[in-house]
Amino acid sequence: MTVTSPASAPDTHQGPASDERLLGTSPLKRLLSRPELGSVVGALAGLGFFSLAAESFLRASSLSTVLYAASTIGIMAVPVALLMIGGEFDLSAGVLVTTSALASSIFSYRMTANVWVGVGVSLLFTLAIGAFNGLVLARTKLPSFIVTLGTFLMLAGLNLGCTKLFSETVSTKSISDMDGFSSARAVFASTVTIGGVAFKITILWWIVLVALASWVLLRTRAGNWIFAVGGNKDAARAVGVPVGRTKTGLYMGVALGAWISGQHLLFSYDVVQSGEGVGNELIYIIAAVIGGCLITGGYGSAVGSAVGALIFGMTSKGIVFAQWNPDWFKFFLGAMLLLATLLNAWVRKRAEATA
């Protein structure tokens, strides 16, 4: 009796098994998938354009001015970009900068304390406002547009009311003769000379914030949470992501940026006007969008927001160096916003098509 073994199934594999998850990504695909690609192209185009339009644009002193203008926007654009990646907005960011400056100035003057005490109180107060925005958003489930619009109106009224109450005018009293003012100015509003060219300290603050935000987004669990809640908060919650805490942390990040910007405002000019900052929140959002952040959330980068702020700085100062009518600035800014958004959309489509 013979026993026949079952026929073995034919080998359909013509080579080693492959898994698309293990396939390498080409450098071109990685480049096209970067959210800041469109803004980098726009920045290079802007650099070339203003270099031809204004002979003085490429001078070291002019580039220092451009970087300073970009840094004053970029310090806020970085945390605003992270918040947008997390799927939310903050319409109170502009007036919050002024609130931070006013808190430092008024507290220091009224309490006749070392200005560093006022700076510390301002930090706590500003972070509390950011936490308030995040907690209200998490508890009420209201859109961030409504929550932060309410905060914007309250802060605008608080800024004016408190300034007139304590100073009897719309600007704060001078604190330049108080203890600690010179050291605080050195930290927040000093000028560093390198190779005969003066650079504002805000440029360093800006670089540090971009590096820190990029590390958080790309190298930490919190970065994964930010992308997750921005892409689909319900799915993120289902897999254990602390959605409420993540968004509250993002609002506190915006508050931290507002505190840095506010201290720079105060120690640069010594006094603060209570009505400053209104409308700047739109500029921060524009810089983030130009840098590749999506309005719908879940996509963007800190580097992109920095490039968007750089484009803003080049445009605002390039128009001056070219001796054009500055009344056209907002026209150019709006045109750049539309072109950058269209370019970012085209880059994303190409990246998806080649994926």
Q: What letter represents residue 10's amino acid?
A: P
The 3-state DSSP class for residue 190 equals coil
Phi and psi (nearest 5°) for 191?
-125, 130
Q: By 3-state DSSP, what share of the chain in percent is helix, strand and coil, each rounded to 5? A: 70, 5, 25
Distance CA 50, CA 108 (A): 43
Mean pLDDT over 96-122 rounds to: 94
- Of the candidates 258, 284, 249, the one whose C-alpha atom is nearest the C-alpha of residue 103 is 258
- Of the candidates 73, 75, 97, 77, the one whose C-alpha atom is nearest the C-alpha of residue 275 is 97
CB count in 10 Å sphere of residue 41: 15
Is the entire prediction scored with pTM above 0.95? no
Q: What letter represents residue 6's amino acid?
A: P
Q: What percent of the chain has pLDDT over 70?
A: 87
pLDDT band at 83 (very low <50, low <70, confident <90, very high): very high
Q: Give yes or no for a contact between 134 and 249, defined as CB atoms under 8 angstroms apart.
A: yes
Q: How many helices (H) and strands (E) does the chain have?
A: 14, 2
Tens of pLDDT along 190-247?
999 988 899 999 999 999 999 999 999 999 999 999 999 998 888 999 999 999 999 9
Q: Give yes or no for a contact between 235 and 73, defined as CB atoms under 8 angstroms apart.
A: no
User: Torsion over CA of 252, 243, 81 and 282, rounded to 10 degrees?
Assistant: -70
Q: Is the dihedral of CA 302, 307, 310, 315 positive or negative?
A: negative
Which tokens is 149 given?
């619009």
Q: Give yes or no for a contact between 36 and 354, defined as CB atoms under 8 angstroms apart.
A: no
- Of the candidates 107, 86, 350, the one whose C-alpha atom is nearest the C-alpha of residue 242 is 86
Residue with tokens 């080049």: 314
pLDDT band at 346 (very low <50, low <70, confident <90, very high): confident
Does position 101 have pLDDT exceeding 70, yes or no?
Answer: yes
Q: Looking at residue 50, what is its pLDDT? A: 86
Mean pLDDT of the chain: 86
Distance CA 158, CA 156 (A): 5
Of 64-68, 133-137, 296-300, 338-342, the poorest mean pLDDT is in 338-342
Tens of pLDDT along 25-41?
666 666 666 777 777 87
Of 55-69, 122-136, 268-282, 325-339, the poorest mean pLDDT is in 325-339
Q: Is the dihedral of CA 303, 304, 310, 312 positive or negative?
A: negative
Phi and psi (nearest 5°) for 197?
-110, 130
Q: What percent of the chain has pLDDT over 90?
A: 58
The gap from C-alpha 124 to its chain's centroid, in whole angstroms, comes to 20
Q: Looking at residue 355, what is its pLDDT? A: 56
CA-based radius of gyration for the chain: 25
Distance CA 296, CA 272 (A): 35
Distance CA 310, CA 300 (A): 16
Phi and psi (nearest 5°) for 171?
-130, 155
Q: Give yes or no for a contact between 225 and 246, defined as CB atoms under 8 angstroms apart.
A: yes
CA angle (199 as vertex; 197, 202 as ends), nearest 5: 175
Q: Looking at residue 152, what is its pLDDT? A: 96
Does position 288 have pLDDT exceeding 50, yes or no?
Answer: yes
CA angle (341 as vertex; 134, 299 as ends), nearest 5: 45
Direct distance between the N- and C-terminal alpha carbons of the chain, in angstroms, rounded to an integer: 59
Tens of pLDDT along 112-169?
889 999 999 999 999 999 999 999 999 999 999 999 999 999 999 999 999 999 988 9
